Amino acid sequence: MEPVNVMVIGVGPHARRIYIPILKQLSQTMPVRLVAIVDLVSQAKSINQYLSEIDYSLETIYFDHFDGSAGLPDNCKTILDNLIKKFNIQGVIISTEAMAHKMYAEWALRRNLHILMDKPISMRKSVSTELDQAIALLDDYYDLLDLYKKQQRVKPTAFTINAQRRYEYGFEKVKELISEVRDRFNVPVTSIQAMHADGTWMFPMEILTQKSHSHFDGYGKVAHSGFHIFDMVWQLYKAGLVDQKKPDALEIISSPLLPSGLSINLSEYDYQNYFNTEYESTGLTENSYGIKVQNYGEIDSFNIVRLLKGDKNICNISINLLHSSFSRRAWATPNEDRYKGNGRIKHQQFIIQQGPFQSIQIHNYQSKSSHDTDNSNEFDVGGNNHFDIYIFRNSGMFKSNQPFTKISAKELEDNKHSGRLINESAKERVIIEFINFMLGKINKNDLKSNIDTYAIPTKIMSGIYQSSALLAKRQNPLINISL
Kindly give, in sequence order, each residue whose CB lies less than 8 Å from that of residue 241, ignoring residues fewer than 6 positions away.
182, 188
Q: Span 245-260, mean pLDDT?
A: 97
Would you tell me how many other CB atoms lie within 10 Å of the CB of residue 47?
Answer: 20
**Cis (ω within 30 of 0) for the bond into 120?**
yes
pLDDT of residue 397: 96
Q: Span 183-198, mean pLDDT?
A: 98
pLDDT of residue 143: 98
pLDDT of residue 419: 63
pLDDT of residue 375: 63
DSSP code of 267?
Answer: -
Return mean pLDDT, the chain: 94
Whether pLDDT at 254 is above 90: yes
Per-residue pLDDT reduced to its tens digit, 113-160: 999 999 999 999 999 999 999 999 999 999 999 999 999 999 999 999
pLDDT of residue 333: 94
Per-residue pLDDT reduced to its tens digit, 288-339: 999 999 999 999 999 999 999 999 999 999 999 999 999 999 999 998 877 7
pLDDT of residue 476: 96
Per-residue pLDDT reduced to its tens digit, 375-427: 668 889 999 999 999 999 999 999 998 999 999 998 987 666 556 788 889 99
Give me the domains of the chain, ranges plus CATH numbers: 4-162 (3.40.50.720), 165-419+451-482 (3.30.360.10)
Check: CB of residue 118 under 8 Å from CB of residue 105. Answer: no
Q: Span 39-50, mean pLDDT?
A: 95
pLDDT of residue 413: 76
3-state secondary structure at position 159? strand
Per-residue pLDDT reduced to its tens digit, 59-96: 999 999 998 888 899 999 999 999 999 999 999 999 99
Whether pLDDT at 201 is above 60: yes
Helices (H), 100-258: 101-110, 131-151, 169-185, 204-209, 221, 227-239
Per-residue pLDDT reduced to its tens digit, 275-296: 999 999 999 998 999 999 999 9
The Cα–Cα gap between 348 and 229 comes to: 10
Query: DSSP string spanning 373-426?
Result: S--TTTTSTBSTT--EEEEEE-HHHHTSS--EEEEEHHHHHTTTSTTS-HHHHH
In the sheet that 89-94 helps form, which strands lie side by side, from edge to edge?
A: 59-63, 32-40, 4-9, 89-94, 114-118, 159-162
pLDDT-based confidence at 354, cuts 50/70/90?
very high
Whether pLDDT at 461 is above 80: yes
29: left (phi over 0), alpha (psi -120 to 50) or beta: alpha
Would you tell me how many other CB atoms lie within 10 Å of the CB of residue 258?
Answer: 23
pLDDT of residue 117: 98
